[in-house]
Amino acid sequence: MKLGSFAAAAAVITLVFALLAFAQSEGDLRAHADTSALLVARAVAWTYAEEQAGDPDGRTQRLLEALPGELPAVKSALVLKGNKIVAHSAPDQAGRSLSQDSLSDKALYDSAQAVKASASKNVEERERDPSLKQDPYPEVEIASLPGGAVAASAPVRNDEDRVVGLARVEMAEPLPTLPYPALIVLIGLIAMAIFLFFARRSIAVPAGVVLLLFIAVADVWALSGFRFGLRRSVTLATAQNLGALARAGVLPPDVSRRPALIGALGRDAHGRMYPIELVDVRPVDRAMTRSATLALGAIPGGERFEAGDHEAWFVESSFEAAYDRDFSDLSRWAFLSGMVAIGLFVMGARGRIHAFWSAFTSNRTAYGYLAPAMVGMGILVFVPVVFGIVLGFTDRRYNVFEFAGLSNYVAILSDFDFTSTKNFYFKLGVTFLWTGANVMLHVGIGLFIALLLNDEMLRAKGIYRVLLVVPWAIPNYITALIWKGMFHKQFGAVNFFLDAVGLEPVAWFGSFWPAFMTNVATNTWLGFPFMMVVSLGALSSIPNDLYEAAFVDGASRWQRFKDITLPLLMPALVPAVIMGTVWTFNMFNIIYLVSGGAPDGATDILITDAFRWAFERDKYGYAAAYSTIIFLILLFFTLLTNKVTGATKGAFE
């Protein structure tokens, strides 16, 4: 049955491309929304700067009032100077001062201050490093608002390049929902249907190869075509925005700050032409785009938007480079999914897919019931895991992930500087220590209490059980924060107690062992109820007459525990211990919230350090490789323990 393997391979390719289509169209649309808002904000800022430099008074206010009429997407626009709104798209707002009591005014003021601060910082940096000069005005702020709107803020500068105010525009550009993923899936389905229609046994293999090739090529072609079309329409929309701005009497004189995919030119009242930055692309094309942009006027076939003294150009030819690059990007994906497809194909040839398929067909109903869970697991577990593993082979530069081979793994594993708290092996040691200490305490305390609770003579068992499960029931970050507070050096309950009994207070987070101990104490408090509940369940499933038989056979209390209770607890306890080990190994919350790695990251375990690599030290690829190593360690541990103990076999089966 080769049909199954082809179908599976085709499904993989289709799925990969559908996801790509989804991600790309989402990204492109969002980038467009951001760019549009930014464009308008810059235009407003520029207009106000001109006004300040001596243009007719009130020009900005007139522009802002006209703006919503010309650009219906603009919800509001304003210019702030100091704490005064000097111009506003709603005339009644213009001229008022910001109120101390209004939260939205305060947010506005704060964002103006932030933009101003980063602008002056950037000025300093530009003076120090001339190479940054080609990015003259990077300081803008873009925020997503509820309902898909975008708020963009741009600084207003005076002649001396100093920030004197802030232009802020809220825009809600209608984003089309694009059916590209559905179209990709449709291609896959149609191709598969044709294939199944024509595929007779004898030609199944060549037909399948043709099918896969067809799907891959069609997907690459369709996706790059879609994207080309999308960019074209997005660019057109931007150009139309420009036209609208021009009609409103303004065009931003921005020099292309970032590389542009398209070029648009503004021509001001004096006949000077401005290249206008529009849509974000990657830095690779910087030179090309720039020259293309500057040469724009000479390229025929462009579209021209004109209003008064201003004109904007939109030229399609500059798309082609991007189209080519998209195409090669997609070809890489096609190659990758092709490799996966070949893998599946090999499995198919070995009969695996056939076995799977016959299992599937003979249990059709069961799989039907399982399908929702399987889809959920696939999306929530499988996709992120694969993504994470892939990320481990990349390195991020300028927001672009580049393939980096095994370099992350080599960097992690070949660092033997054990004295550094960031060293992998040091972290591994701490993690083992942490896991060992916790699991021993969890099992020890949990089992001990379970034995006490299992005593038939004990009264009010229900109350004890509820009380003892409480640590488990409280969200663990709350517990973590409470314990962190209790170990506070000055105000914590623990030091207060030490003081009360006449002992020296301890700086709990000042050195390794006390900090480590606070983590262990917190996690023990959190973790023992699980082991207690598991043990209690297993204890109550041990028939009482086994104890009686052992008692009559001559076993003492200890012998009954050792020879009856413990061996019969094992089938329940071993999986719980394995699970507990894995949980503890990856117990992020406690470490991060209680000691926070103090002192100096020494008490961080692998998982918290992986987090820091990703989100504090900004090395995603490195962090992903870190996580993959953690995963492999735990996988190895689980397979090993399962093999050694045969834990998945119950004693009563």
Partner 1 sequence: MASVTLKNVFKRYGDNLVVRDISLEIEDGDFVVLVGPSGCGKSTTLRMIAGLEDISEGTLSIGSRVVNDVSPRDRDVAMVFQSYALYPHMTVEENISFGLKLRKMPAAEITKRVGEAATVLGITDLLSRKPKQLSGGQRQRVAMGRAIVRQPAVFLFDEPLSNLDAKLRVQMRAEIAKLYQRLKTTTVYVTHDQTEAMTLAKHIVVMSGGIVQQVGAPLDLYRAPANTFVAGFIGSPAMNFFEVEVSDGRLKGRGVDLPIPPRFSGSLPAQLTLGVRPEHFRTGGGAGTVRMRVDVLEPLGAIVNALCDVEGVSVTATLEPDTRVTVGEHITLGVDLEHVHLFDRASTRAVAGAPRAAA
Sites of contact with partner 1 (CB under 8 A) = 543, 545-546, 548-556, 559, 563-564, 567-568, 570, 651-653
| CA atoms of 499 and 492, how far apart (whole Å) | 11
The smaller minimum CB distance to partner 1, of residues 548 and 600, is found at 548
Min CB(581)–partner 1 separation in Å? 23
- First and final C-alpha spacing in the chain: 37
As measured in angstroms, the least distance from the Cβ of 642 to partner 1 is 18
To the nearest whole angstrom, how small is the minimum distance from the Cβ of residue 576 to partner 1?
A: 18
Within 13 A of 222's CA, how many CA atoms are on the CB side?
22
DSSP string, 173-215: PPPPPP-HHHHHHHHHHHHHHHHHHH--GGGHHHHHHHHHHHH
Pick the closer one to partner 1 by CB: 133 or 649.
Answer: 649
- 10 Å CB burial of residue 79 (0-12, 13-18, 19+) is buried
Place of tokens 């996966």: 340
What is the closest distance, in whole angstroms, from the C-beta atom of residue 539 to partner 1 in the complex?
15
Q: Between residues 320 and 553, which has the closer beta carbon with respect to partner 1?
A: 553
For 84, the enclosing helix (H) or strand (E) is strand 84-88
Task: Please tell me the distance from the alpha carbon of residue 458 to that of residue 461, in angstroms, as a whole number.
Answer: 6
> How many Å apart are CA 517 and CA 636, to the nearest integer?
28
CB of 399 to partner 1, least distance (A): 59
Cβ closest to partner 1, residue 98 vs residue 555 = 555
Q: How far is CA 456 from CA 445, 453, 572, in A?
A: 19, 8, 21
Q: Which of 573, 565, 560 is nearest to 443 (CA)?
A: 573
| Least distance between partner 1 and beta carbon 543 (Å) | 7
Based on CB atoms, which residue is closest to partner 1, 398 or 652?
652
CB-nearer residue toward partner 1: 398 or 558? 558
The distance of closest approach from Cβ of residue 453 to partner 1 in the complex, given in angstroms and rounded to an integer, is 22
- If you ran DSSP here, which 8-state letter would residue 487 be given? T
> Do 8 and 344 touch, CB atoms closer than 8 A?
yes
Contact 260, 277 (CB under 8 A): yes
Cα distances (Å, whole numbers) of residue 289 to 264, 293, 303, 315, 565:
11, 6, 18, 12, 76
Token pair 């000691």: residue: 595
Closest CB to partner 1 among residues 205, 555: 555
Q: Which is nearer to partner 1, 394 or 565 (CB)?
A: 565
Smallest distance from the beta carbon of 461 to partner 1, in angstroms? Answer: 19
Nearer to partner 1 by C-beta: 328 or 556? 556
Using the minimum distance from each CB to partner 1, give the nearer residue, 546 or 633. 546
Sign of the four-CA dihedral 97, 103, 108, 111: positive
| Coil, helix or strand at residue 351 | coil
Q: Where are the beta strands (DSSP E) in 370-486?
A: 394-397, 400-403
Least distance (Å) from partner 1 to the CB of residue 548? 5
State the minimum distance, in angstroms, from the CB of residue 546 to partner 1.
5
